Amino acid sequence: MRGRRGGVTAAAMTAVLAGVLATGCTSAATAGDDGDGAPPTASAASTRSARVVESLAPDGTTVRVGSPEAKTVVRLYEDLRCPVCRSFETGGGGTALRGMIRSGEVRVDYTLASFLDARLGGHGSEKAANALRAALEAGKFAEYHDVLYAHQPEESVDGFTDAYLLAMAAKVKGLRGQEFDTAVKGMKYRDFVTASARAYDASGVPGTPTMTVNGKPVNVLAEGASEGDMLPMLIRLAAAA
């Protein structure tokens, strides 16, 4: 690698596109540190998604964000408590991916995991996934998703409480209201959360974040892979492969 924004070597490119998947947050109890503790590098105010098409896929667990006509489908497996997911979403990679969604070049399919609750204790991942499902009903999934990652509590704190989720929702214009608040406080979408967790487990992916492009794995944890000027190229290469 020739600098963080230079070109990638042939070996590095092969590692990214060959499905050699390093892992971020994993469900294994023996896994090591999940992140470097660095704060988010971008605010929700600067990266918040423009209005895009959002829907729940027929499988009942996949949240689709982006044009139904997009020929390239990026699938992301994420756990809302995962600090490595935060680093991706609030850094250059996440910003670039949102631009590709807005342009209509890609659609992103999200599978929301919640294994960190079992590993670390608490219910923050489940509560956040439930709140995101409620935001989907209001057409605010993408915006709220960005806000939650930009203001993600420390992984070990289990900070996604009802009160915190509602406070973060207040940052998304038009999201707060009786229906949304009741859904958050009452875990209205518990069945969705459970089904999504099972879909993640059944996928066999090694951890979060994990990305596929039209079904092909792309290692977003390889050095430089999630840089803002690198990720679009990697996605296009995977789509063309």
Average pLDDT over residues 176-202: 98
The domain ranges of the chain are: 59-202+212-240
Contacts of 62 (CB under 8 A, 6+ apart): 56, 75, 109, 110, 111, 199
Tell me if residue 98 falls in helix, strand or coil.
helix
Q: What is the pLDDT of residue 226?
A: 85
- The amino acid occupying position 166 is L
Task: Summarize pLDDT for 83-97 with one digit per residue, the tens.
Answer: 999 999 999 999 999
pLDDT of 12 above 80? no
Cα separation values, 196 from 50, 61, 132, 241, Å = 25, 5, 12, 29
CB 81 within 8 A of CB 117: yes
Rg (CA), the chain: 17
Residue count (the chain): 241
Per DSSP, what are the bridge partners of residue 107? Answer: 73
* Sign of the four-CA dihedral 169, 48, 149, 215: positive
| Plot region of 154 (φ>0 → left; ψ -120 to 50 → alpha; else → beta) | beta
DSSP string, 123-166: SHHHHHHHHHHHHHHTT-HHHHHHHHHHTPPPGGGT---HHHHH
Percent of the chain clearing pLDDT 70 (strictly above)? 80
State the average pLDDT over residues 165-189. 98
Q: Report the chain's terminal Cα–Cα distance, integer Å.
A: 22
For residue range 104-160, list pLDDT tens digits in order. 999 999 999 999 999 999 999 999 999 999 999 999 999 999 999 999 999 999 999
| CATH code of the region 59-202+212-240 | 3.40.30.10
Mean pLDDT value of segment 220-241: 92
Q: Assess whether pLDDT exceeds 50 at residue 20.
A: no
In the numeric block, which tokens belong to residue 97?
Answer: 């991916």
- Confidence band, pLDDT 50/70/90 cuts, at residue 229: confident
- The 10s digit of each residue's pLDDT in 91-119 is 999 999 999 999 999 999 999 999 999 99
Q: What is the mean pLDDT of the chain?
A: 85
pLDDT at 23: 56
